[in-house]
Amino acid sequence: MGTGTSAGAIGTAKHLWLHTKTLELLLTSDSEISEQNQKWLDENNIRLHRAQIAELEGKKGCLDAVILDNGARLEHEAFFVSAPKVPRTNLSQQLGIAVTKSGHAEPKSQRGDTNVKGVWIAGDLRPMTQQVTIALGTGNIAAVHIDQFLANR
Angstrom distance (rounded) from CA 53 to CA 95? 37
| Predicted confidence pLDDT, tens digits, the chain (153 residues) | 444 467 778 888 888 888 887 888 888 877 888 899 999 999 999 999 999 999 999 998 899 999 999 999 999 888 877 666 667 778 888 999 998 887 888 889 888 899 999 999 988 888 776 678 888 898 899 999 999 999 998
CB of 56 closer than 8 Å to CB of 67: yes
Q: Whole-model pTM?
A: 0.56
**All structural domains of the chain with their residue ranges:** 2-82, 90-151
Select from 1.10.287.70, 2.40.30.170, 3.50.50.60, 3.40.720.10 the CATH code of 2-82: 3.50.50.60
Q: Which of 128, 100, 101, 132 is nearest to 114 (CA)?
A: 100
